[in-house]
Amino acid sequence: MPTTASASVLFVCIHNAGRSQMAAGFLRHLAGDRVEVRSAGSMPGDRINPSAVAAMAELGIDISDQQPKVLTADAVQASDYVITMGCGDACPYFPGKKYLDWKLDDPAGQGVEAVRPIRDAIERLVEGLIAEIDAEQQDN
């Protein structure tokens, strides 16, 4: 029997090259197909931050095949959770969505050593998000 995603999550940061890509990588890795994962940026960069790719690879998570994507109202509307990371007011608001703002340093221009603590903070936040999604599913 096919598994359907219990929720969909959109991670948004400015360039969609570091924080949101690491968060999406963790959620895909930890939740599998239980959660539909999207990421986007208000001003997407040209490529994924190589330090973010390297930091995730250290944990066995490959995000090297991802590309920055532009934030669209459709992506927000199609998501149950919208997690912002420093994109300010660029994210459109739709009633009925759960919005969370994660305060994280921007890994842009940083080396792997500076990205590791950001990566680790994202991992903890994603684990908490999965627990919240699972608890909500049990309540329904």
- Supply the residues annotated as catalytic: 13, 87, 91
CB 105, CB 8: distance < 8 Å: no
Rounded to whole angstroms, the Cα distance separating 122 from 112 reads: 15
Buried b (16+ CB within 10 A) or exposed e, 59-78: eebebeebebeebeeebbee
For residue 41, which of 3, 6, 100, 90 has the smallest C-alpha distance? 90
Angle at which helices 19-31 and 112-139 cross, to 10°: 50
From the centroid of its chain, how far is CA 116? 16
